């Protein structure tokens, strides 16, 4: 596989020139009046997700040049290497195969796609585990004695299943309550334990490594509470979702569902980590979630780059970050059930692409991951949209709207849709006002993702779309999007500080940490 870092390609220089010539001054209003077909030319139907990219600050020429950049960087080779099961996560010497988790089983080996030929044994293992996990999920769904499911996990072992479970609330079994405990702050676990009873609770200990301090601390406390409160039968009331089955067994949990080191934590909702979701929406719902993601995998793997939505979004991300210099992206889902979607995307994008060195360890001379943030609309409109419309920084906004509602309350959905359209319009159009305070510059970019309905299938496709767009920008930036060494230092220091908080030993500490430590101990 030959890949070239984006800034070392001829297209990079071309794009720099383009940016100076037309990019910096690009005006969306003029672009729409000059081209009646701009919407058609810059919108795209991918599986289960329609995207209107026409309100973005680029012309057709720039788009072509960005595609050239992707070609020159070797994006296709890198994408194919992922789908061939190559060890593209070089710092951990691992393959990156979360896509295998949503690949249907191969019934006839001769019919298997190019992708699955290389990963036949992994695919088989995936389906053995998936079948076992879904059978267990159905058993729990039918077990009337279990009323509460408590997922204990953090990062990818929390955000994915929690985000999806909330998003699919309309599909969730109403007879069970779901709780998520991630924070080492005991207030969170204590609040959940106050609400549940040992005999009717199932604890899912979700941790890829089964070593994460927050999860292990919460799991230990949950097990201690269970035993102290008269709970019996740990095998029935505790299950572990992990790649480290032996650690789970040593911890005393024998009901386990495994996965593999080639599934990154932030890409693991499709694995055993998705068990709470499978219990909530059932085996068929979970299969539909996987199927939607698989449809997007196939789109990413096979669609030509100019008609490939993850590629188009990833290229836009590079254009904004490295040419316009925009350092953040606001996520605006216009569906209240997508309330954890921005948080989920934060881990996906910022843990994947928040890197300052390339894959060879060399410092990068350009910016990488933007800061992602957001809240569901219309709430965001009454909080920070002021800054999006009139602030000094331009922040590209990514809207998500859902055409059909699943409630029947009159008047609400049309108002919600009117608001999302109006916000995208207002950002772009702006408004002249001589007074200054009421002037809107407009020309503020946005992308618009549209689902027909928020269902397991469309959610699966939307999430896989986001995974692959992060892959695309990471590939062009020449970084390893699949490790996360940046989280390690804080973990190590926390151990040292924990001991010092207990002992009071402040020797060798900076005066700020020493001062705070003394106040906390006083």
The residues assigned a catalytic role are 351, 382, 491
Six-digit token pair at 282?
């059932």
Do 54 and 42 contact (CB within 8 A), yes or no? yes
What gap in Å lies between CA 476 and CA 451, rounded to an integer?
28
Closest approach of Cβ 243 to ligand F6P, in Å?
A: 8
DSSP state letters, 396-427: -EEEEEESS-S---TTHHHHHHHHHHHHHHHH
Report the distance separating Cα 71 and Cα 77, nearest Å. Answer: 9
The CB-of-251 to ligand F6P minimum distance in angstroms stands at 13
Which residue has tokens 């269902």?
455
Question: What number of other Cβ atoms are within 10 A of residue 504's Cβ?
Answer: 9
Q: Shortest distance, CB of residue 486 to ligand F6P, whole angstroms?
A: 9
d(CA 361, CA 104): 37
Report how far residue 227's alpha carbon sits from residue 223's, in angstroms, rounded to the nearest whole number.
6
The residue (of 208 and 301) whose beta carbon lies closer to ligand F6P is 208
Contact 131, 234 (CB under 8 A): no
Q: Measured from the CB atom, is 371 or 429 closer to ligand F6P?
A: 371
296 upstream amide cis, omega within 30 of 0: no
* In the block, residue with structure tokens 């009331």: 237
Asked whether 69 and 476 are in contact (CB, 8 A), the reply is: yes
| 328 touches 151 (CB < 8 A) | no
| Distance set, CA 74 to CA 8, 213, 473, 478 (Å) | 12, 39, 12, 10
156 vs 374, beta carbon nearer ligand F6P? 156
Neighbours of 515 (CB within 10 A): 12
What count of other Cβ atoms lies within 10 Å of the Cβ of residue 50?
16
Q: Which is nearer to ligand F6P, 242 or 322 (CB)?
A: 242
Task: Give the tokens for residue 393.
Answer: 């920084």
Q: Which is nearer to ligand F6P, 244 or 308 (CB)?
A: 244
Least separation in angstroms between residue 276's CB and ligand F6P is 14
Q: Which of 220, 197, 224, 198 is CA-nearest to residue 207?
A: 220
| Nearer to ligand F6P (CB atom), residue 47 or residue 155 | 155
Query: Which token pair is 369?
Result: 């991951």
Binding footprint of ligand F6P on the chain (CB under 6 A): 154-157, 207-209, 212, 215, 265-266, 351, 484, 487
Instruction: Tell me how far apart the alpha carbons of residues 132 and 505 are, in angstroms, rounded to a whole number.
Output: 50
- Shortest Å, Cβ 233 to ligand F6P: 25
- Separation CA 382–CA 509 (nearest Å): 44
The answer to whether the beta carbons of residues 404 and 420 sit under 8 Å apart is: no
The two three-digit tokens of residue 168, written as one number = 């699919």
- Tell me how far, at minimum, the Cβ of 40 lies from ligand F6P, in Å: 40
Nearer to ligand F6P, 26 or 344 (CB): 344
* Nearest-approach distance from CB 492 to ligand F6P, in angstroms: 12
Cα 60 to chain centroid distance, Å, stands at: 29
Neighbours of 23 (CB within 10 A): 19
In the complex, the smallest distance separating the C-beta of residue 319 from ligand F6P, rounded to whole angstroms, is 28
Length of the chain as a residue count = 522
Q: Please state the closest distance from residue 207 (CB atom) to ligand F6P, in A.
A: 3
Q: Could you give the strand order of the β-sheet that contains 256-258, starting from the edge strand earlier in sequence? A: 177-181, 148-152, 201-206, 238-242, 256-258
Nearer to ligand F6P, 74 or 265 (CB): 265
């Amino acid at each position: 596989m030959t890949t070239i870092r984006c800034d070392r390609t001829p297209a990079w220089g071309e794009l720099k020139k383009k940016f100076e010539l037309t990019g910096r001054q690009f005006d969306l209003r003029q672009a729409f009046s000059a081209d009646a077909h701009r919407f058609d030319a810059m919108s795209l139907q991918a599986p289960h997700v329609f995207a209107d990219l026409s309100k973005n600050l680029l012309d057709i020429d720039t788009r072509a040049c960005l595609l050239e950049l992707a070609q020159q960087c070797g994006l296709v080779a890198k994408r194919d290497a992922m789908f061939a099961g190559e060890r593209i996560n070089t710092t951990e010497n691992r393959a990156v195969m979360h896509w295998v988790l949503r690949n249907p089983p191969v019934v006839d080996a001769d019919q298997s796609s190019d992708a699955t030929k290389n990963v036949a044994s992994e695919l088989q293992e995936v389906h053995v585990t998936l079948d076992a996990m879904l059978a267990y999920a159905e058993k729990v769904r039918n077990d009337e004695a279990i009323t509460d499911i408590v997922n204990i996990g953090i990062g990818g072992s929390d955000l994915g299943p929690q985000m999806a479970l909330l998003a699919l609330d309309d599909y969730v079994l109403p007879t069970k309550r779901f709780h998520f405990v991630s924070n080492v702050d005991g207030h969170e676990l204590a609040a959940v334990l106050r609400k549940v009873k040992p005999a009717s609770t199932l604890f899912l200990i979700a941790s890829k490594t089964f070593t994460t301090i927050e999860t292990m601390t919460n799991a230990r406390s949950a097990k201690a509470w269970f035993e102290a409160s008269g709970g019996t039968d740990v095998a029935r009331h505790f299950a572990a979702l992990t790649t480290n089955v032996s650690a789970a067994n040593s911890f005393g949990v024998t009901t386990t569902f495994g996965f593999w080191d080639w599934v990154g934590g932030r890409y693991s909702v499709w694995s055993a980590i998705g068990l709470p979701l499978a219990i909530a929406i059932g085996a068929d719902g979970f299969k539909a979630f996987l199927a939607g993601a698989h449809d997007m995998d196939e789109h990413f793997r096979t669609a030509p780059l100019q008609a490939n939505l993850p590629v188009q979004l990833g290229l836009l991300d590079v254009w904004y970050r490295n040419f316009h210099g925009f350092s953040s992206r606001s996520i605006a889902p216009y569906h209240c059930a997508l309330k954890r979607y921005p948080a989920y995307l934060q881990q996906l994008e910022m843990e994947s692409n928040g890197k300052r060195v390339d894959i060879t360890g060399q410092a990068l001379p350009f910016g990488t991951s933007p800061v992602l943030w957001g809240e569901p609309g219309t709430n965001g409109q009454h909080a920070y949209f002021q800054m999006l419309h009139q602030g000094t920084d331009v922040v590209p906004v990514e809207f998500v709207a859902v055409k059909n509602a699943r409630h029947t309350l009159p008047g609400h959905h049309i108002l919600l849709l009117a608001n999302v359209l109006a916000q995208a319009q207002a950002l772009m159009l702006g408004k002249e006002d001589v007074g200054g305070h009421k002037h809107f510059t407009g020309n503020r970019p946005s992308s618009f993702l549209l689902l027909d309905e928020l269902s397991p299938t469309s959610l699966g496709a939307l999430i896989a779309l986001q995974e692959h767009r992060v892959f695309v920008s990471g590939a062009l930036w020449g970084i390893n999007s699949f490790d996360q060494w940046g989280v390690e230092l804080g973990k190590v220091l926390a151990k040292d500080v924990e001991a010092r908080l207990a002992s009071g030993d402040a020797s060798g500490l900076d005066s700020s940490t020493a001062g705070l430590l003394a106040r906390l101990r006083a």
